Structure 1
Amino acid sequence: SGSSTNLVLAINLARLYGTTNYTKYRYRIRFCWWAAEEIGLVGAIHHVQQAQNSSTLSENKLSNYLINLNYDMLGSPNYFFGIYNGSSAKPGTPLQALNGSIRISEVFRDWFNLQNLPWDYTDFSGRNADETKSVEQRDRYESKLGEGHGGLAGAKVDPCYHLDCDTIKNIDKFGYFKMSQAAAYMLEYLGRKNDLVNYLYPNGRSSQIQLSDDYFPNSDYFRES
C-alpha cells in the first residue's frame, strides 16, 4: 500500500506540474521503490552507496538529499495511524539530523490532530506490521472514528504480512486513504518551504554521512569490498 501511495503522489504531482496554475516546488522530488528489502535492504543500501560514490557534479550525490519520507504498510486491515517518532532514531545518528526528524513527526501529528483523527508514535524498528493493537488503541480509535471502527484488540495490525493472502483485498480503504492524504500534505508542506535546509538543519548538516554496520544485512554477500 505504501508503494501505491508513492505512485499516486508521483502521478498527481506530474499532472499538477503540467498545468499553468500550479507553482512548482523549489526542490526536486525523487520517488523511489526499493527492491529486495526482505533479504537485507539490498535495494535501498545500493541506492545510498551509489549516491555516496557519485561525482561532485552529479545531482544524485548523497549531499543533495535533504530528507527521506518512508511510506510503508499504510493500508493494513487492522491499521493504526502511525507516525515515525523522530526522537527514537538509533544511537549514533548525527545530532544534526534529529531536529529535522522531530519536526517531520510534529507536522504529521498536527495534521492528524487537525483532521480529528487518532494517531500513534512508532519507533524506527521497521516491524510495525507485526505489532498487535491494544485495547487502549481500539477504544481510543473508536472514540474518534465511531463504534466498530477501532479495529480488533489483541489482533495483529496485518495478519497477512508476508503471506499469500497479502493482496489488494487485504487493505482497509479508509485507513489507506487518510494515510495517503497525510503523505500528500507533507509533500506540499515541505515543497513550499522557502528554506528547507535551515528548517530541517538549523545547526548545520553532518559532514560524516555513512551507513553504520547495523544497517547492513548479516551476510557479507551484500557488502561492498
Structure 2
Amino acid sequence: MKYLLSLIHLTTLAASSAIQQPLNEVPHAQVPLSKKPLVSSTALQDHITSDNLLKRAKKLFDIAQLGVEEYNHPTRVIGSDGHRGTLDYIYSTLSELGDYYELSNQTFDAVVGNIFESRLVLGDGEPTSATPMSLTPPTKNKDAVFGPLVLVANEGCDASDYPSNTTGSIALIKRGVCAFGDKSAAAGKAGAIAAVVFNSEKGSLSGTLGEPSQYHVATFGLSNEDAQPFIRKLIDGKLIPSSAYIDSIVHKAPTTNIIAQTKGGDQDNCVMLGGHSDSVAEGPGINDDGTGSLSLLEVASHLVKYSVENCVRFAWWAGEEEGLLGSDYYVSQLSEKENLKIRLFMDYDMMASPNYAYQVYNATNALNPTGSEELRDLYTEFYKSHGQNYTFIPFDGRSDYDAFIKHGIPGGGIATGAEGIKTKQEVELFGGVAGQWYDPCYHQLCDTVDNCNLDAWEVNTKLIAHSVATYAVSFKGFPKRTGVSSTAGVEKSLYHGPKLVM
C-alpha cells in the first residue's frame, strides 16, 4: 500500500484511505484517561522489544523505496516521495491511537539542494578530489568556467582580503573565522567565478553554504594537503589556469514537522522529545534517523495506556539533514509564554549504529541552560544501573537540540555514533571494531535495515521510555525555567546540523 499523500491533506489524514494500522496489537486509547494507571518507567520500558522496532524499520525501508523513481535508489530526503510517505506513516500511526494526543502539522519552506556533477581542475593536472559544498549554486549556465586561481588573504571574511584581480578568477580561501557561506558570498561580491575553501587542518573538507545568498558562487572544499602545492606556486607569483564545473539546483520546497502532545497532564509543564523524519538524498536513512523517529513512535504508541502528570510533547522534525531546518523553525515560532512551557528538550538521533558506543551529550549547566546537566545525569545513571558503559560526546550543534538550548530550554540526548572512528578503549567498553566508523553506512546507500544493531536500539529505546516516564510523572528536583535567555552558543560552533558550516 502506498503511503504517499499530499502534505496539503495531512491535516485530514485521519480520514484518508491511506491510513496504516499501527503495529500495536490492540487499540489503547478507548479507556477513559481518568481510569488509566499513572505511567512508570518500568511499565513503559516493558513494552519495548527489538522485534517491534525491527518491524517498524522494515516498514520504513519500504517507504524509502518510494524515492527510487526520482533518485534511482531508496531515500527519504525532504521533498521526495519517500519523505512524504514517512510523514504519512507517522501521522497515520498516531491518529489511530484515538484522542490521547493533540496532533498538529507545521508546514514551512525548506531549502533543498542537489548536486548532479562537479569537477575542479587546478593548473594542467587531473581533476582534484575537491568536494562541492552542500547548497552550492551551479557554475554559470551549469557549464565549465575558466579563470586563474587567485590566493585570498587571511580567511577571506572581509572584502579587503580579496585582491583586485579576483574578478574572473577562482578564489582560493583558507578555512576559519567565518562560515563557508560568508566566504562564498564575499568571493562572489569580489567578482570571482568560483571559490575553493581549503582546510586549515588535516583531511578533506566538506560542508554546507547554508541559507542561499544571491552572492554565493559555485564553491568547493579541498584538503590542506592538496592545496599546499598550489599555494606555494601562487606565492612564488606563478599563474595557475584553472576550471570549475558544478551542475546543481538549490530551491525552496514545503515540508512539515509533526507534533503530538498528550491531552492529559499539566499543559504548562511539558517534557519534549524529538527525532528527525528525513534522510539524506544518498540513502534511505534507516539508522539516521529512522531509529530515533521510530523509537519515538513506539514509545508514543505505548504511552497511551497510561495517564501522565505533566504533558509529553513528541516532535518529528523535517529538514534536519539540510541544517536543522525543522527544529530551528519550530523554536523560532514560539512566543516567550510557549517557550517557557517546555521544561526540557531531549534529542534522539541515531540509536542503533552497528559499531555503536553508548554516547551521551556532555551538556553541562555551565555552558547550557540550567537543567541540561540534570538530564545528562539521568542518562548516565540509567546506563550504570543497567550494567552498560557510556562515553561523553561534544554538545556542539550537530543535531536538533541546538535551537532549544540557544533559546533557554535545557537540552540533551544520546546517540550511538556516526562517522567518528571507534578507539581501542571504546572496543573494551562496547565491543565492536577499532579503527572503523561507528556507522560505516553513515549517509550512504547501505543505511538499510541491516545497518541497525538491534540490541543497542532496544536498550536506547528503553532509555527513551525511561526519560519520558520520569518527567511525565514529576519534575521534582529539576530546575525551574526562569527565562528564555541562554549562554549556549556563545562560542561559534563548527556545525549546524550534520554538516560543517565553518
TM-score (norm 2): 0.35
* One-letter code aligned to 1:74: M
Which residue of structure 2 aligns with residue 113 of structure 1? 384
Which residue of structure 1 aligns with residue 341 of structure 2? 64
> Is the partner of 1:104 in helix, strand or coil?
helix
Between the aligned residues of both structures, percent identity stands at 25
**Partner Cα distance (2:309, 2:487) in 1:** 27
- 1:104 paired to 2:393: no
- 1:25 paired to 2:308: yes
CA apart distance, 1:105: 1.1
CA apart distance, 1:199: 2.7
Which residue of structure 1 aligns with residue 130 of structure 2? none
Which residue of structure 1 aligns with residue 352 of structure 2? 75
Which residue of structure 2 aligns with residue 144 of structure 1? none
Greater strand content = 2
- Judged with a 3 Å threshold, the aligned counterparts in structure 2 of structure 1 residues 210 and 140 are, in CA distance, closer, same or farther, namely closer
Which residue of structure 1 aligns with residue 118 of structure 2? none
**Partner Cα distance (1:47, 1:199) in 2:** 28
Query: CA-to-partner distance for each residue in 1:77-115, whole Å, 9 max, x for gaps?
Result: 1111111112287x5x4xxx23x1111111111111111
**Partner Cα distance (2:436, 2:365) in 1:** 25
CA apart distance, 1:165: 0.8
What are the residue-to-residue correspondences of 1:51-200 with 2, within 5 Å?
Answer: 51-52=334-335, 61-87=338-364, 93=368, 97-98=369-370, 100-125=371-396, 126=398, 128-141=417-430, 150-193=431-474, 196=475, 199-200=477-478
> Is the partner of 1:33 in helix, strand or coil?
strand
**Partner Cα distance (2:426, 2:356) in 1:** 10
- Judged with a 3 Å threshold, the aligned counterparts in structure 2 of structure 1 residues 37 and 7 are, in CA distance, closer, same or farther, namely same
- Judged with a 3 Å threshold, the aligned counterparts in structure 2 of structure 1 residues 69 and 63 are, in CA distance, closer, same or farther, namely same
Which residue of structure 2 aligns with residue 221 of structure 1? none
- Judged with a 3 Å threshold, the aligned counterparts in structure 2 of structure 1 residues 192 and 138 are, in CA distance, closer, same or farther, namely same
* Pairing partner for 1:208 from 466, 469, 485: 485
- Judged with a 3 Å threshold, the aligned counterparts in structure 2 of structure 1 residues 45 and 207 are, in CA distance, closer, same or farther, namely closer
**Partner Cα distance (1:211, 1:86) in 2:** 10
- 1:4 paired to 2:294: yes
Cα contact 2:383–2:390 (8 A) shared by 1: yes
CA apart distance, 1:210: 10
CA apart distance, 1:122: 1.4
Cα contact 2:365–2:373 (8 A) shared by 1: no
Cα contact 2:423–2:434 (8 A) shared by 1: yes
- Judged with a 3 Å threshold, the aligned counterparts in structure 2 of structure 1 residues 31 and 38 are, in CA distance, closer, same or farther, namely same
- Judged with a 3 Å threshold, the aligned counterparts in structure 2 of structure 1 residues 211 and 123 are, in CA distance, closer, same or farther, namely closer
- Judged with a 3 Å threshold, the aligned counterparts in structure 2 of structure 1 residues 87 and 207 are, in CA distance, closer, same or farther, namely closer
* Pairing partner for 1:38 from 318, 321, 340: 321
**Partner Cα distance (1:136, 1:211) in 2:** 30
CA apart distance, 1:207: 4.2
* One-letter code aligned to 2:418: A
CA apart distance, 1:200: 2.7
Residue-pair matches, total: 187
Which residue of structure 2 aligns with residue 222 of structure 1? none
CA apart distance, 1:154: 0.8
Query: CA-to-partner distance for each residue in 1:16-35, whole Å, 9 max, x for gaps?
Result: 13xxxxxx221111110111
Cα contact 2:360–2:393 (8 A) shared by 1: yes
Query: CA-to-partner distance for each residue in 1:45-69, whole Å, 9 max, x for gaps?
Result: 111112237xx5xxxx212111101
- Judged with a 3 Å threshold, the aligned counterparts in structure 2 of structure 1 residues 133 and 178 are, in CA distance, closer, same or farther, namely same
Higher RCO (CA < 8 A, seq sep 6+): 1
CA apart distance, 1:161: 1.0
Q: Which protein has the larger Cα radius of gyration, Structure 1 or Structure 2?
A: 2
Q: Which runs of 5+ in 1 are unaligned?
A: 18-23, 142-149, 218-225
**Partner Cα distance (2:297, 2:445) in 1:** 23
